[in-house]
Structure 1
Amino acid sequence: MYRSLKSVFSLSELALSTRKVGVSLLVGSAFLSGISHAELGYPEKEELKFGFIKLTDMAPLAIAYENGYFEDEGLYVSIEAQANWKVLLDRVIDGQLDGAHMLAGQPIGATIGYGTKADIITAFSMDLNGNGITVSNDIWAKMKKHIPNGADGKPVHPISASSLKPVVDELKAEGKPFKMGMVFPVSTHNYELRYWLAAGGIHPGYYAPAKGDTSGQIDADALLSVTPPPQMPATMEAGTIHGYCVGEPWNQQAVFKGIGVPVITDYEIWKNNPEKVFGVSKSWAEKYPNTHIRVVKAMIRAAKWLDENNNANRPEAVKILAKSQYVGADYDVIANSMTGTFEYEKGDKREIPDFNVFFRYNATYPYYSDAIWYLTQMRRWGQIAEPKSDEWFMETAKKVYRPDIYAQAAQSLIEEGLMDASEFPNFDTEDGFKPATSDFIDGVTYDGKRPNDYLKSFKIGLKGDDQI
């Protein structure tokens, strides 16, 4: 820590001196060789505080800090765990935090006024995949009867929620509700869990904010409610919920504790789905544009480090994340998923090299089509109460996702020789939309340019002029 503070304050003093005398002493210094000050400009704010929730996908923040990438940009950063997603968002809005590791739906939900209304933007996608759905041992024992086994005697994956439906129906016939936890109403976890349940014929319920009903349980076969990620295993063990959808390491924790079984990963629900983003307030980004670009630069480098050489750095990353100030879970629990494997039923460990992706497949780029997918799910489940035009979806995505800022950060890294243009999308031709894909558990095709047609393809969910 002494080295970190000394380096940062030395940089600040040098930068201040340079600005006062108006000469570019720093450009030629050995400490800052390769940094393109003339092109990008100095950070307007050097001391920054970022927030995160204790999940492995906060890794780009931890690595950017530990590897000195923030320092390279002239930034003195402190990173602070937050109690829950609402507290985290509120602290970004009121300025206690300069930015944060956020659920991809949080900047979108805030911008459209679902829950807290605020203008939040993102110029950096933190990862792909990384979540799982876990059920209690009792539910798993009942589900297994409806799941085919492979030649090795192990359950065939991916496991459809259709194997859960008879269990839910049985509980309903006994007058008992089936309950599952997810981390936040606008979380990827909520939408992935709903997607999986609905694809298997289980209705996850509607929201009706215009009527004051934000429970999300209208017409539900499965009652979903919010539980903070680190509390998921204990809440399930206590019998309060029958299962949950959460990021790592809290699915693997259930395996290690022997209290539940992860039945499916989000990679199997939607291959290479966007998960977390780095969010800042729009006003902060406008006040500190150079600082923002430099933050994105540092995290791009961190994401590359996490994935490079076929995940060779992951064991070192796990050691860092296991520290109490970051995720604070046991090394073996975090490594179970971060190093390219995932354990389902105890002893059923399978290779999933892309369970956590931080840089491959342009994972860090903020695609408009990702934002629009989240908006479709908000509409599907009633968080967006009224029908919206395809143009509205596009306009809203552009308010929140900022590939223009990302491109400036990437270009600066390319000019400095730290990264190659081939590692990024072609910014001259990129339109912000991934190709249409059918890589979902139900095979439905998603085309971000046609959101209303996409909504019409689902049997369960609001579409067209539907309203609750």
Structure 2
Amino acid sequence: MLHRLSPRRLSSLGLALGLLSAPLLHAAEPEKAELKLGFIKLTDMAPLAIAYEKGYFEDEGLYVTLEAQANWKVLLDRVIDGELDGAHMLSGQPLGATIGFGTKADVVTAFTMDLNGNAITVSNDVWQAMKPQVPMADGKPVHPIKADALRPVIEQYAVAGKPFNLGMVFPVSTHNYELRYWLAAGGINPGYYAPHKGDISGQIDAQALLSVTPPPQMPATLEAGTISGYSVGEPWNQAAVFKGIGVPVVADYAIRRNMSEKVFGVSRSWAQANPETHKRLIKALIRAGKWLDADDNANRAEAVEILSRPEYVGADAKVIANSMTGTFEFEKGDKREVPDFNVFFRYHATYPYYSDAIWYLTQMRRWGQIADAKPDDWYVQTAKRVFLPEIYRQAAAELVAEGHAQASDFPPADEDGFREPLADTIDGVVYDGHQPNAYLQQFSIGLKGDRTL
């Protein structure tokens, strides 16, 4: 837990003594100035750490305690119960809660914390079995590696009567949907959920069995042989490389690129009771995201040092740096330039796009978490209920007026909340958020139309 004066605060105690000649004027005071925010020990919690360490929260008159949480369910429950004012969340969590998959509650977001940032890792044994099916060039695997190379391995497990177990971090996590997307693109059925029948295992008709493992436990669970691979955020893929126990085979930016990965979530009741506080939090987080991507990632080395501290991610700085500084190591020694592995601000990363929300909802439908067909308008209205760009725009406008940002840093005022259709996917399937049902119809594996389990 962090509850101390940040370096920025310590260096500017003159503010408390009235020595600032031109204080920043706000239209209203925050409804709540003392805040407790939650996070999971992953590198994409970075905007929270940077907003704290650089004094951006304090610039907004907010005094924040950052507290690591045990897992995603505990984090979500504590936001809903009011024990946390807000938190670093999986993009699917506010959506899943709102539609009632798992916990039923109104949770909203006005800020996307990052794009990309995940990978899929397999054990050394599985990698050696995959490798003969992987195209090679100059003695190195050709990326992106598709799940086609994994299919014969899974078939061998089935012949031997052995389950093929994979880990992901939470049923509504990006990692779950990315792992399922990658497997299905290679002709492997990752299984279905049937909550209306009381089956929330996600393993109906599965050729690969996916189950929840908390992120920091992924490497140890892989090493123990309980799972044969996993989908997780950093630094837990690079940790497998450093420990020599596994090989990341694909980064999520190659599965589907530049879509919301984590968000900053609050309960709807909290947002309604604390509109000024909420806006100020978003302002501080926008500044943090901007700092993280400034000058072609020039600040990332400093960010790595901050994140490596035990109160944040608490992993070796060398492991964190492998992805945060624009490179990524796949097979040990095969380090490649991946400047967009973690994106915190460019490509309008912090803006809460409706189309990002709709993609998550399509995946919930595809894998049975949404049991029945929904019209396109349902997807749009659900996205608008949960993702709140109007609050983001208020925060952005104040940052521009204060000189902390430029209008060109943000999406134009006339945009409709939808990114351009995305064609850069591992299977070539085009995603257009305006047409969720037409998008689902393109997949051979997955629920679509009126199909139910």
| Residue equivalent to 1:58 | 45
The amino acid that maps onto 2:45 is M
In structure 2, which of residues 123, 128, 132 is the aligned counterpart of residue 145 of structure 1? 132
The reply to whether residue 394 of structure 1 matches residue 380 of structure 2 is yes
Q: Distance in 1 between matches of 2:5 and 2:117?
A: 34
Q: Is the 8 A contact 2:249 2:330 kept in 1?
A: yes
Deviations 1:414-461 (A, max 9, x none): 01111100110112x011000111111000010001000000000000
Q: Distance in 2 between matches of 1:8 and 1:37?
A: 19
Q: Distance in 2 between matches of 1:64 and 1:2?
A: 13
Distance 1:84 1:50, change over 3 A: same
Q: Distance in 2 between matches of 1:327 and 1:230?
A: 9
The reply to whether residue 133 of structure 1 matches residue 120 of structure 2 is yes
Q: Is the 8 A contact 2:235 2:319 kept in 1?
A: yes
The reply to whether residue 307 of structure 1 matches residue 296 of structure 2 is no
Q: Is the 8 A contact 1:121 1:401 kept in 2?
A: yes
The amino acid that maps onto 1:37 is H
| Residue equivalent to 1:19 | none
How far 1:412 sits from its partner (Å)? 0.3
The amino acid that maps onto 1:437 is L
Q: Is the 8 A contact 2:36 2:64 kept in 1?
A: yes
The amino acid that maps onto 2:41 is K
Q: Distance in 2 between matches of 1:144 and 1:404?
A: 48
| Residue equivalent to 2:250 | 264
Q: Is the 8 A contact 1:7 1:71 kept in 2?
A: no
Query: Alignment RMSD, CA only?
Result: 1.5
- Map of 1:26-65 to 2, 5 A cutoff? 30=20, 33=23, 35-38=24-27, 41-65=28-52
The reply to whether residue 457 of structure 1 matches residue 447 of structure 2 is no
Q: Is the 8 A contact 2:108 2:265 kept in 1?
A: yes
Q: Distance in 2 between matches of 1:221 and 1:273?
A: 27
Q: Distance in 2 between matches of 1:173 and 1:30?
A: 73
Q: Distance in 2 between matches of 1:374 and 1:208?
A: 17
Q: Is the 8 A contact 2:6 2:55 kept in 1?
A: no
Unaligned runs of 5+ in 2: none
Q: Distance in 2 between matches of 1:434 and 1:204?
A: 28
The reply to whether residue 99 of structure 1 matches residue 86 of structure 2 is yes
Q: Is the 8 A contact 1:8 1:75 kept in 2?
A: no
The reply to whether residue 424 of structure 1 matches residue 410 of structure 2 is yes
The residue matched to 2:140 in structure 1 has which SS? coil
The reply to whether residue 435 of structure 1 matches residue 383 of structure 2 is no
How far 1:298 sits from its partner (Å)? 0.2
How far 1:10 sits from its partner (Å)? 8.9
Q: Is the 8 A contact 1:8 1:74 kept in 2?
A: no
Q: Distance in 1 between matches of 2:379 and 2:431?
A: 14
Q: Distance in 1 between matches of 2:216 and 2:279?
A: 32
How far 1:42 sits from its partner (Å)? 1.3
Unaligned runs of 5+ in 1: 15-25
Q: Distance in 1 between matches of 2:178 and 2:119?
A: 9
- Map of 1:255-294 to 2, 5 A cutoff? 255-294=241-280
Q: Distance in 1 between matches of 2:11 and 2:40?
A: 27
| Residue equivalent to 2:333 | 347
Deviations 1:2-21 (A, max 9, x none): 5667799997x89xxxxxxx
In structure 1, which of residues 413, 425, 445 is the aligned counterpart of residue 399 of structure 2? 413
| Residue equivalent to 1:75 | 62
Q: Is the 8 A contact 1:62 1:326 kept in 2?
A: yes
How far 1:273 sits from its partner (Å)? 2.3
Q: Is the 8 A contact 2:96 2:172 kept in 1?
A: yes
Deviations 1:81-131 (A, max 9, x none): 000000000000000000000000000000000000000000000000000
| Residue equivalent to 2:103 | 116
Q: Distance in 1 between matches of 2:448 and 2:229?
A: 28
The residue matched to 1:126 in structure 2 has which SS? strand
| Residue equivalent to 1:236 | 222
Distance 1:209 1:343, change over 3 A: same
Q: Is the 8 A contact 2:373 2:451 kept in 1?
A: yes
Q: Is the 8 A contact 2:6 2:54 kept in 1?
A: no
Spell out structure 1 runs of 4+ moving beyond 6 A. Answer: 3-11
Deviations 1:343-398 (A, max 9, x none): 00000000000000000000000000000000000000000001000010011000
Query: Scaled by the length of structure 1, what TM-score is found?
Result: 0.94
How far 1:31 sits from its partner (Å)? 6.7
After TM superposition, the structure 1 stretch with the greater mean CA deviation from structure 2, 126-135 or 266-275, is 266-275
Distance 1:3 1:109, change over 3 A: closer
Q: Is the 8 A contact 1:46 1:291 kept in 2?
A: yes
Q: Distance in 2 between matches of 1:92 and 1:194?
A: 28
Distance 1:450 1:236, change over 3 A: same
| Residue equivalent to 1:376 | 362
